[in-house]
Structure 1
Amino acid sequence: MLMQTEFLADIVNHLPEGMIVMDTERRIHYLNEKALHMTGWKLGDTVPYCTYCQEREVNDGENRCILTADEPIPSFNSHLAVYEGLEEFEMSLKKLMIADRTYYVLRIRQPVKNENSERARFHELLVQETLLAQEAERKRIARELHDHIGQSVYSIFLGLEVIKQGINDEKYQHHLFNMMNVMEKTLDNIKQLTKSLRPEIVYDIGLEKSLRQAVKDWRKLYQIEIFLELALDKEQELDPEKQLHLFRIIQESITNAVRHGKATYVSIHLKTYYQYVFFNLYDNGNGFLAEGCSKKGLGLKHMYERCKMLDGDIKWLSKEGGPTRVEGFVSLVKPEGERESELNDCR
């Protein structure tokens, strides 16, 4: 015997998760009691975009909601505007066709705190310690490059300058000239490598100035066009450690775009919104299959883990042949229990 429609409606109405049916204009056609209690929305209201999607850079004709993409992610955590301000939800979306019309079923619930989430948090702490150790090692290597290898190469370069003045043979002068060119390029390479390794630049002058300087270096190093747009709230700055992690995420994106994507143009956008910093990078490179990319390659995994560490998220939107867009956000709010001493650990 088929269950009567009113019984099914009653079951949906008492589900422990919020269920909302909306049309393509995001106008609410149905919401159960849980959704009403969680949000305060009513029939006919328009479901707001989450804080993440509000700040997304979208192409013409592209739906702003990331859950409506052709290959949507299963679920997504972000904040929605409800009757009491902003509330964090875990969300998922299902597309329905009814009488040739498109509707979406939006499921919302509070982020689950259980044994699995505690295990995930423990994993994040382990990742954080690993990344901090990596930063400390990068600093050590950068110091070695600058203080020892760089100085030694520079001493050899100066010695060749002195030898050059005492050589009259044109053939040996030509050889010496070539050697000095190689030494000069080696010094430039050491300088660039040291800049990419050392985190002090972010700690000393901040994220904004570091990015502006880095963009100049990347333009020169990679011989590509880079556009940078920053709209960061001076009164809501990230702490230095978070600035460093965000800098590394952008640095890795640029490296991937140039080395793997063969991009000739990259745009970088950062913007403060409420308690978040949103970032969006676009490149005209070859692109790649973005599905499951947070599990592909050490660089992408580190980008993903850095974002999760900072109570944020990151998405790669790409296809073979390009272009590629990397977008995400990090939280300005310091996670509960974060150690003050962690800043000094990686310096």
Structure 2
Amino acid sequence: MTSHLSNFTAIIENSNCLISDHLIPVHLQQFGLVKSIKQICNQIKNQIRFNVRVIGNPDILSKQLSIVIYRIAQELITNVAKHSECTTCTIHLKTSQEYVAFKIHDNGNGMYVPESRMNGIGLLSTIIKVELLNGRIEINAVRGEGMTINIKIPLL
């Protein structure tokens, strides 16, 4: 009975590892946050020129926070590609001992739909992620001039 229980426990532990590996993007695991964000940009097949700037060392971020920043970047870059009609997009990632900051700015149409009129959950889920981490998010848009989203999350 004990050997069956040990085998069963090993199977469960192995399954948990397999599941968690699938939740973490392989590219993020292998190449880190900056290269993974650049890969998201490279996957966009339209006419947007992306510029990714990094200040500090993103390697200081925990694995969990790196995943959150990656998912936020993925959502916001996708939104830029789908909705902004921009030609350029600049992404800033800044890390320090106190916080991580993520900023995305495009030169697109600057249309921002207020929370009450959002059809999708992407931007709303980004806002929720940031707030759950005691962070701040600011969304600024000027019609015809683009949109800027600033995110700042304190490091615990």
Instruction: Please state which band the TM-score falls in when normalised by the shorter chain.
Output: 0.7 to 0.9
Q: In the alignment, what sits opposite 1:243?
A: 66
Distance 1:294 1:250, change over 3 A: farther
Q: In the alignment, what sits opposite 2:49?
A: 225
CA RMSD, 1 decimal: 2.5
Letter of the 2:33 partner, please give it.
Answer: L
1:200 has 2:23 as partner: no
| 8 Å Cα contact 1:242/1:310 also seen in 2 | no
Q: In the alignment, what sits opposite 1:210?
A: 36
Report deviation, 1:263.
Answer: 1.4
Q: Helix, strand or coil for the counterpart of 1:286?
A: coil
1:261 has 2:101 as partner: no
Q: Helix, strand or coil for the counterpart of 2:90?
A: strand
Structure 2, unaligned runs of 5 or more: 1-18
Output aligned runs, 1:176-195, within 5 Å: none
Letter of the 2:50 partner, please give it.
Answer: I
Report deviation, 1:207.
Answer: 0.9
Letter of the 2:89 partner, please give it.
Answer: V
Report deviation, 1:309.
Answer: 2.3
Q: Tell me the TM-score normalized by structure 2.
A: 0.74
| 8 Å Cα contact 2:40/2:77 also seen in 1 | no
Output aligned runs, 1:293-332, within 5 Å: 293=115, 296=118, 297-332=120-155
Per-residue deviation, residues 55-95 of structure 1 (Å, max 9, x unmatched): xxxxxxxxxxxxxxxxxxxxxxxxxxxxxxxxxxxxxxxxx
Q: In the alignment, what sits opposite 2:6?
A: none
Q: Helix, strand or coil for the counterpart of 1:282?
A: strand
Distance 1:247 1:294, change over 3 A: farther
Letter of the 2:62 partner, please give it.
Answer: D
Report deviation, 1:293.
Answer: 3.6
Q: Tell me the TM-score normalized by structure 1.
A: 0.36
Q: In the alignment, what sits opposite 1:252?
A: 75
Query: Please, which of 108, 115, 119 is the counterpart of residue 285 of structure 1?
Result: 108
Cα separation, 1, equivalents of 2:56 and 2:126: 21
Distance 1:255 1:332, change over 3 A: same
Cα separation, 1, equivalents of 2:124 and 2:116: 5
| 8 Å Cα contact 2:134/2:154 also seen in 1 | yes
Quote the sequence identity (%). Answer: 29
Letter of the 2:46 partner, please give it.
Answer: Y
Letter of the 1:233 partner, please give it.
Answer: N
Report deviation, 1:205.
Answer: 2.4
Letter of the 1:317 partner, please give it.
Answer: N
Distance 1:282 1:294, change over 3 A: farther
Per-residue deviation, residues 286-343 of structure 1 (Å, max 9, x unmatched): 11246x448733011111111122221211100332310010112222xxxxxxxxxx
| 8 Å Cα contact 1:202/1:240 also seen in 2 | no
Q: Helix, strand or coil for the counterpart of 1:260?
A: helix
Distance 1:232 1:214, change over 3 A: farther
Report deviation, 1:280.
Answer: 1.2
Determine which structure has greater relative contact order: mean sequence separation of CA pairs < 8 Å that are 6+ residues apart, divided by chain length.
2
Output aligned runs, 1:34-183, within 5 Å: 139=22
Per-residue deviation, residues 181-210 of structure 1 (Å, max 9, x unmatched): xxxxxxxxxxxxxxxxx6222233221221
Task: Number of aligned residue pairs: give it.
Answer: 136
List, as ranges, runs of 4+ consecutive aligned residues in structure 1 with deviation greater than 2 Å: 212-218, 292-297, 319-322
Distance 1:324 1:229, change over 3 A: same
Cα separation, 1, equivalents of 2:100 and 2:34: 12
Q: In the alignment, what sits opposite 1:73?
A: none
Structure 1, unaligned runs of 5 or more: 1-135, 141-197, 334-347
